[in-house]
Amino acid sequence: MSVARPTGPHYRVEASDPAAHLFHVTLTVAQPQAAQRVSLPAWIPGSYLVREFSRHLQKLSARQNGKAVAVHQLDKAGWQVDCVPSAPLVLSYEVYAFDNSVRTAWLDTQRGFFNCTSLCLKVETQEQLPHQLELVALRAFPNWEAATGLEPLKTGKRGFGTYLAADYHELVDCPVELGPLYSAEFRAGGVPHRLVVAGCTEAFDGERLVADMQKICEAQIRFWHDRKRPPFKSYLFMLNAVDDGYGGLEHRNSTALIAARRDLPRLGDARTADGYVTLLGLISHEYFHTWNVKRLRPAEFAQYDYRSENYTQLLWFFEGFTSYYDDLVLRRAGLIDEPTYLKLLTKTINQVLQTPGREVQSVAQASFDAWVKYYRQDENTANATVSYYTKGALVALCFDLTLRLEGHTQLDHVMRALWQRCKGGPMAEADFAAVLKELGGRAFTRELTAWVHGTRELPLRELLEQHGVLVLDEPAQLQQRLGVRTTETGGTIMLKTVLRGGAAEQAGMAANDEWVGVEVAGAAWRLGKLDDLPLYAGSHRKVTALVARDRRLLRLDLSLPANATTWRLALRDAPRAQAWLGPQG
C-alpha cells in the first residue's frame, strides 16, 4: 500500500505594486506543525556575503480557519506562528524589491526579477517536500512574460502559472525574470536552451549572440561529457541589459546575468568589440559553473545553511579554475583568436602582480575570508587580500602548463576525472590532490603548498615561455609606478587606494586624499589629471605633492620611480602554443 507524500508549501507571488517596488507573497502551508516556524535566508549561494534579505520583508501576518493567528519574531530572520496542525496555514507578506543586481530582487514598471532566497520563507521541517511557485500575471502589463528554470506544472503561453520544485533547495536555486522579454531558443548537447533578455534596444543582434552562446555551450558540454548529454533537462539564460553594469550568478539549470547595453552585439556590425568579448566571457564563466560549483562543489556545501556563513577554503578552485576556463573556452570555440586570448590573460596576470595583498594572503585563505573581505572591499583591500578569482585562475594555468610540460596529462583530464571520482558531487582538496597524483604521475604536494596555501610568486614566466609564449616587460602606467589608484572627475584627482610599499605611501599619501597640485623647481602647478604630472615634473625625480586631507593642505615630498614594468604576452612559438590553446584534449 503506497502512502501519499505530504503536500508541501505553495507560494503565490504577485507583482502587486510595481511603482512602490513591492511583491506580495501568499504562502500556504497545507500541513503545518503546531507553533510552525518559518525563516528567510540571509545569503544566496554563489555570493558569499550575509545580506540580511529579511530587512526587506514587511507586513507579515497569518490566518488559519479564516481567523488571524499571532506571529512572533524569534530573531532577525525567523518567526513562529501560533497555529495548530489540523488546518492549512496561510501567511501573507510583502517584499520590497529595488536591487537591480543578480543577487536579490527588483520590481518597477519596466521589469521584475527575484531570487526565491529574497521572497520565499522557508517552512521549517518541510524543506524536503515538493514546493510550488505560482506566478500571477499583471493585468496592467499584458505584454509581460515570465521565465524561470523551474518545471512548469500548469502555465500559460506567457509563462505565468504554477511551477514545481522538488524541494526548497531547488526552489531557491531557480530565479524568475518578469517583463517584456526578447526570447530565443537553441539546442546544445541535445538539450534545449533558452535566452531571455530584458532592456535590449532595437539594435540588438540576438541571432549573433545566440549563435555564439551555442558554440560556448557545445564546447563546455564536450569538455565535461564528450558526447554524452549534460546533467540537466533544459537551461535558461536571463540577461538584464542596463546602461552600466556587469555580473552574473550561477544556478543549477539557469543563470542570471547583467551587462551594459553597449556591450551587446549590434545589427550590421560584425566587429568583435572588447565589451562583447567580456560579455561572452561572463556567459562562459556562469555556464561552466553548472558543473564546477553547482554539482562538483566543496564538501562544506553538501547541504547549505541559509541562516549564516558557510565556510570553505576551495573557492580558488571553484571560482578560480572557472575563471581560467571561461576565456579559454572562447578561444577553443573559435570566438576569439590567440592574440585576443593572450591579451585577456595578460590583464589577469597584471591584476595579480599589481596587488600587494598577494604577498599577505594565500588563495586558500582568501576563499575562507570571502565573507568578510572579498565582498567588503575598501581602500586597503589590495594591500591585504588577493582575489581567489584572478590568482585562482593563474593557479589553474600553472597546474595546466606544468602537467602538459611533464607529459602525463593536462588539466582538462584532471577536471573530468574529478567529476567521475566525486560523482558530480561534493569534493575536498584531497580529491584534487589524489587525481593530480593518479594522472600526473607524481604527488603535487609541493605545488599545492606553494601555490594554494603559500604567498610566493607563481612560476608564470618560465611556464609560459616553455609553451611558446613570450613575456615582455613594458613600462607601467603612471598610477602603477606611483602606487596609487585614483578617480578623476571634473578636474579633481581623488586617491582611492595607496598601494603598500609604493612611492605614494612612502611620501605619506593616504586614501581619500585630493591630489591638488605639485611643486617643481620653485613653481607650483595645479593638477587637473594625473597624466599631467610628467609635464610639470620634467626630468626632476623629486617633487612636492600638494594634497588636501580633511580640508587641510599638506606638502609631501614625493620621489618619482624611474623603472616600473608591466607584462605583455605575445606568441613566440605558435605551434607549441597551439597545443595548449587549440582544441581541447
- Looking at per-residue confidence, does 5 or 135 come out higher? 135
pLDDT grade for 412, boundaries at 50, 70 and 90: very high
pLDDT grade for 74, boundaries at 50, 70 and 90: very high
Averaged pLDDT, 490-504:
97
pLDDT of residue 86: 87
**Superfamily grouping for domain 291-469+580-585:** Neutral Protease Domain 2 (1.10.390.10)
pLDDT grade for 2, boundaries at 50, 70 and 90: very low
Q: Is the per-residue pLDDT at 424 higher than 90?
A: yes
Averaged pLDDT, 241-262:
98
Averaged pLDDT, 530-544:
95
- Mean pLDDT over the full length of the chain: 96
Q: Are 122 and 129 in contact (CB under 8 A)?
A: no
Averaged pLDDT, 164-174:
98
Q: Which helix or strand (DSSP H or E) is residue 287 part of? A: helix 274-288
At the second CATH level, the architecture of 478-563 is Roll (2.30)
Averaged pLDDT, 132-144:
96
pLDDT of residue 536: 96
pLDDT grade for 223, boundaries at 50, 70 and 90: very high
pLDDT of residue 584: 61
Rounded Cα distance between 256 and 113, Å, is 10
Question: Which of 460, 457, 414 minimizes the C-alpha distance to 439?
Answer: 414
Cell of 330: 572562447
DSSP state of 566: E
Hey, which residues does 106 pair with through a beta bridge? 98, 113
pTM beyond 0.85: the answer is yes
Predicted confidence (pLDDT) per residue in 323-356, tens digit = 999 999 999 999 999 999 999 999 999 999 999 9
Q: Is the per-residue pLDDT at 3 higher than 60?
A: no
- Exposed, middle or buried by CB within 10 Å (0-12, 13-18, 19+), for 227? exposed
HSE at residue 59, side-chain half, CA atoms within 13 A, is: 10
Q: Is the per-residue pLDDT at 262 higher than 90?
A: yes
Predicted confidence (pLDDT) per residue in 455-484, tens digit = 999 999 999 999 999 999 999 999 999 999
pLDDT of residue 582: 84
CA distances from 433 to 35, 295, 320, 415, 460 (A): 48, 19, 16, 12, 21
Predicted confidence (pLDDT) per residue in 282-319, tens digit = 999 999 999 999 999 999 999 999 999 999 999 999 99
Predicted confidence (pLDDT) per residue in 384-403, tens digit = 999 999 999 999 999 999 99
pLDDT of residue 5: 61
Rounded Cα distance between 308 and 313, Å, is 17
Q: Is the per-residue pLDDT at 4 higher than 60?
A: no
HSE at residue 167, side-chain half, CA atoms within 13 A, is: 9
Predicted confidence (pLDDT) per residue in 76-105, tens digit = 999 999 999 989 999 999 999 999 999 999
Reply yes or no on domain 10-137 having CATH 3.90.550.10.
Answer: no
SS3 per-residue string spanning 421-447: HCCCCEECHHHHHHHHHHHHCCCCHHH
Rg (CA), the chain: 27
Averaged pLDDT, 5-13:
89
- Domain boundary assignment for the chain: 10-137, 291-469+580-585, 478-563
Q: Is the per-residue pLDDT at 564 higher than 90?
A: no
